[in-house]
Chain A
Amino acid sequence: QSVLTQPPSVSGAPGQRVTISCTGSSSNIGAGYDVHWYQQLPGTAPKLLIYGNSNRPSGVPDRFSGSKSGTSASLAITGLQAEDEADYYCQSYDSSLYVFGTGTKVTVL
């Protein structure tokens, strides 16, 4: 059972900005653990998108950005593109165990 809550879906037109929230608690995000984000394109394995709350691995476009505050984190996609249609998951740490978010499907209208 996921302890990090995400909206099931978000959508936007090409070029728009969308945000995905990841809500945790005082035992995970609120305890100071970093949040990381993964993108899962249809039929493929998840891929690291953001690590350490706001850092982009090499090759990830700068239209993806992450932030963290209190017991929550957010992923923003600016200048939404058709290829961004995918599932997105946040991940953190809780009581010495890894935890994932419930996942959010991004639809490009």
Chain B
Amino acid sequence: QVTLKESGPVLVKPTETLTLTCTVSGFSLSNARMGVSWIRQPPGKALEWLAHIFSNDEKSYSTSLKSRLTISKDTSKSQVVLTMTNMDPVDTATYYCARAIFGVVKSNWFDPWGQGTLVTVSS
């Protein structure tokens, strides 16, 4: 059974750095046909993709947030870490990690998703 679980602080102050960890089980982070993404959802709003890490350690980031994000992985620990600098109240959201599956060319989807963790940014 494949599972992902997010962990990290529930409350951060403005200007602080957020560090979230996604612990996966049931698949390997070295599997070439899979990767892990971070996705967030502000309360009552749509999903927003943030960052992705591939099995070969290649990374991709949202264009609008690229300067603030860093994604990394520890394959031996089955963990993917996301850091986001200079947090602001508008970054208040539920943060999800999800496994990306690479189907045929030009076909990548997310399954499954973690349960999500709500991060509130407030002083």
Partner-B contacts on A (CB < 8 A): 1-2, 31-34, 36, 38, 45-48, 51-52, 57, 89, 91, 93, 96-103
Q: Is B31 an interface residue (CB 8 A)?
A: no
Chain B residues near A47 (CB-CB < 8 A): 112-113
Q: Are B110 and A91 in contact (CB under 8 A)?
A: yes
Contacts of A46 in B (CB 8 A): 47, 96, 98, 110, 113
Q: How close is A49's CB to chain B, nearest CB, in angstroms?
A: 10
Checking A33, A36, A48 against B112 with a beta-carbon cut-off of 8 angstroms, the contacting residue is: A48
Could you tell me the distance between the alpha carbons of A46 and B95 in the complex, rounded to whole angstroms? 12
Closest to B37 in A: A98
11 pairs, CB–CB < 8 Å, chain A vs chain B? A2-B46, A36-B110, A47-B113, A48-B112, A89-B46, A89-B47, A91-B109, A93-B108, A97-B62, A100-B46, A103-B46
**Docked CA distance A52–B104 (Å):** 9
**Majority-rule SS of B interface residues:** strand
Residues of B within 8 A of A (CB): 37, 39, 46-49, 52, 60, 62-64, 96, 98, 100-101, 103-104, 106-116
- Minimum Cβ distance to chain A for residue B93 (Å): 13
A52 and B110 contacting across the interface, CB-CB below 8 Å: no
How far does the Cβ of A95 sit from chain B's closest Cβ, in whole Å?
8
Complex CA–CA separation, A1 to B63 (angstroms)? 10
Q: Indicate if the CB atoms of A32 and B46 lie closer than 8 Å.
A: no
